[in-house]
Amino acid sequence: MIYLDHFSTTPCDPAVVKAMLPWFGEDFGNPHSLHGPGRKAAQAVERARESVARLIGAEAREIVFTSGATEANNLAIKGAARHLARLGDPRRRIITVATEHKCVLESVRALASEGFEAVVLGVDADGRVDPEALRKALEVPTLLVSIMAANNETGVLQDIPQLAGIVKAAGALMHVDLAQMAGKIPVSLKDVDLASVSAHKMYGPKGIGALYVRRRPRVRLEPLFSGGGQERGFRSGTLPTPLVVGFGVAAELAAVSMAEEAVRQAVLRDDLWAQLQGGLPGIVLNGRTVPRLAGALNVCLPEGLRALDVLEACPDVAASTGSACTAAEIAPSYVLTAMGLSAQKASQCLRLSVGRSTSKADIDRAAGLLIAAARTCQTN
């Protein structure tokens, strides 16, 4: 099996697994207990917190551990809006983008049912937000803006520094979903108030993520649920020490290999695209004219081919047609339709993503298999 679905999830790095193992059995103390085993676990948690903070250019005390980016996104959006509303803030507008992750869009829609005004901005044909459209939307006093840094289907990068500057000038809070970007390219938190990160997108374990909560000027949040007040009162519950430790090691490894991997993966991605172009006339690259993550390749197959049919005819290549969070739905990608593709065109699109373990041999074999599968589907 050739794995080309690294935007869905990444395998745990062996060093991450090795670092986690002792904390499942040998060092099993609760990090919130005051005895020796508890203090040892707490120290490991704080080391990991520092590693995650360094990766994104934050202070350790600004990192709140969660169960993943979905929880972090929910906490950032709902938590900030509800807290400010409880304090009597009259602003009700929440702005996001049509190509955001489902958990962001659904969080904003949930707030609409609580009396907030949900504004969902469109994107251009490459999936980018128009800064002027954002500026126009911010003419109405706004509480919070949530924009994804790197799209989870196309890899297209938003100009977060520019957009965050516009948001700051308008006096709103800025939340950024960094799940796909963190650990792959350098991150800037300038003018960003809240940012979500996920471990399993950077070769760490599933079930752990983090929310950056800016300390100065201080951002406050309403917790999503009640409990013992762990994580500075933002996120109650016993921290899973093994997962936190694994997250920390994954962040350290990403920081070391980021630059080299970006170059290597871009070369492999471009090689795969060149081979697919040569073997399948009429294939189109989505988001081709704007910056993308190095491993990202979202393609629209030639007319008459459905992506699902090609994947079924090519069982030795693990790829997808869109976000894994919506893979159970037999519907075209809402990200691609927001970019202007028809439902039919969107159903012809494949999401391929290169990762650390991908080799030149993998690219050559995957290209050959995908081209052969597509040709078989064309003749059937």
Q: What is the pLDDT along the chain (380 residues), one digit of tens a residue?
A: 999 999 999 999 999 999 999 999 999 999 999 999 999 999 999 999 999 999 999 999 999 999 999 999 999 999 999 999 999 999 999 999 999 999 999 999 999 999 999 999 999 999 999 999 999 999 999 999 999 999 999 999 999 999 999 999 999 999 999 999 999 999 999 999 999 999 999 999 999 999 999 999 999 999 999 999 999 999 999 999 999 999 999 999 999 999 999 999 999 999 999 999 999 999 999 999 999 999 999 999 999 999 999 999 999 999 998 755 554 556 789 999 999 999 999 999 999 999 999 999 999 999 999 999 999 999 87
**pLDDT at site 330:** 63
**pLDDT at site 329:** 53
**pLDDT at site 322:** 72
**Would the CATH topology of 2-8+258-373 be identical to that of 14-252?**
no
Architecture of the domain whose range is 2-8+258-373: Alpha-Beta Complex (3.90)
Report CA 30 to chain centroid distance, whole Å: 29
Q: 217, 219, 213, 218: which is closest to 231 by C-alpha?
A: 213
Is residue 379 within 8 A of residue 326, CB to CB? The reply is no
Is residue 205 within 8 A of residue 176, CB to CB? The reply is no
**pLDDT at site 268:** 98
User: Buried b vs exposed e over 316-339: b needs ≥16 C-beta within 10 Å?
Assistant: ebbbbbbbeeeeeeeebbbbbbbb
pTM here is: 0.96
The span from the CA of 202 to the CA of 17, in Å, is 13
Catalytic residues, which ones?
Answer: 325
CATH 3.40.50.2300, applies to 14-252: no
Secondary structure class of 175 (helix, strand, coil): strand
Where exactly are the structural domains of the chain?
2-8+258-373, 14-252
Q: Work out whether strand 296-300 and strand 349-353 pair parallel, antiparallel, or are unpaired.
A: antiparallel
Secondary structure class of 117 (helix, strand, coil): strand
